[in-house]
Amino acid sequence: MTFVFDDVSVPSTKYVFGENEPNLSQIGKYTFAFAYDYISLKGGTLCFDNEIIPKDDYHELYYLKQEISSVKIVDLFTKKPHQYRFHSIDYSSKRDWLFKKLAKAIGVTYKNAQQRDQLPTIYQIAVYTDEKTRTAPRIVGFFGNYGIFHLIFFDYSHSIYPNSLN
């Protein structure tokens, strides 16, 4: 989908199911910006309004978003992936439940596994990791046009891609 402003065609920042997702060469020059169109707010374990999330962790989330907003996307992929524990999340068969949740979050009815190729690649970013308290909340989303990062889940319990803390 595109919009026209003063005779200039501009791609929409909105995600369209099945549309090719932008590659690093298209979005790498941009710094992080967040969109909330698909944010999960249903009170579940992966939702931003999950009642178990302490208020202080929302503060940590805002600090992270402020800090990461000055990072170029290409640097996140090449220079700083470990700093933010940034990586893609695969849809292996053991994560079929995640595919279903993602499809629902972006408004797609789950029909079959072939739809996986039409869904955007999702990524996780660490809000923080605390070895002492054994907590490691993550935010999860995908990139759209202009490097817009569409937030979907707040994985407070680090259950999507667990590590040694869990």
In the chain, where are the structural domains located? 2-155
Q: Could you tell me the pTM of the whole model? A: 0.85
> Tens-digit pLDDT profile for the chain (166 aa)?
555 556 666 667 777 777 788 899 999 999 989 999 999 999 888 999 999 898 888 999 999 999 999 999 999 999 988 999 999 987 666 677 888 888 888 888 777 666 777 888 899 999 988 888 778 899 999 998 888 999 999 999 888 876 644 3
Asked whether the beta carbons of 20 and 26 are under 8 A apart, the reply is no
